[in-house]
Amino acid sequence: AAKSRGRGNFQFFSRDMNAATHERLLLESRLWQALEQREFELYLQPQIDLPSGAVIGAEALLRWHHPELGTVGPDRFIPIAEESGLILPLGEWVLQRAIGLLGHWQTVGLGHLRLAVNLSARQCQGHGLLAQLDGMLADAGVDPALLELEITESAAMQDPERSRALLQALRARGIRVAIDDFGTGYSSLSYLKLFELDRIKIDRGFVKDIESDPNDAAIVSATISLAHALGLEVIAEGVETMAQADFLRAHDCDEAQGYLFARPMPPGQFERDTCATLDGPLRGPMSGQASV
Interface region with ligand C2E, contact rule CB under 6 A, candidates 20-28, 127-135, 224-232, 252-260:
252-260
> In the complex, what is the shortest distance from the CB of residue 78 to ligand C2E, in angstroms, rounded to a whole number?
5
- The whole-angstrom separation of Cα 81 and Cα 24 is 11
Please list every residue from 219 through 248 that binds Mg ion, using CB under 5 A.
Answer: 237
**Which residue's Cβ has the minimum distance to ligand C2E?**
258
The residue among 9 and 184 lying less far from ligand C2E, judged by its C-beta, is 184
Query: Of the candidates 118, 123, 257, 269, which one interacts with Mg ion according to CB under 5 A?
Result: 118
- Buried/exposed code over 51-77 (b: 16+ C-beta within 10 A; e: otherwise): eebbbebbbbbbbbebeeeeebebeeb
For residues 252 and 24, the answer to whether their CB atoms sit within 8 Å is no
Query: Of the candidates 150, 153, 198, 254, which one interacts with Mg ion according to CB under 5 A?
Result: 150
The option from ligand C2E, Mg ion, none interacting with 61 (CB < 5 to 8 A, set by class) reads ligand C2E
Query: Of the candidates 16, 23, 216, 240, which one interacts with ligand C2E according to CB under 6 A?
Result: 240
Query: Of the candidates 61, 99, 156, 157, which one interacts with ligand C2E according to CB under 6 A?
Result: 61
Contacts 24+ apart (CB under 8 A), 158-164: 158/121, 158/124, 158/125, 159/125, 160/191, 160/194, 162/124, 162/125, 163/124, 163/195, 164/194, 164/195, 164/196
Q: Distance of CA 234 to CAs 84, 172, 177, Å?
A: 34, 21, 12
**Binding of ligand C2E by 259 (CB under 6 A):** yes
**Binding of ligand C2E by 279 (CB under 6 A):** no
Three-state DSSP class for 105?
helix
Q: Given the DSSP bridges, would you call strands 255-256 and 70-72 parallel, antiparallel or unpaired? A: unpaired
**Binding of Mg ion by 181 (CB under 5 A):** yes
Chain positions contacting ligand C2E, by CB under 6 A: 45, 61-62, 73-75, 78, 91, 94, 118-120, 150, 180-181, 204, 237-240, 257-259, 264
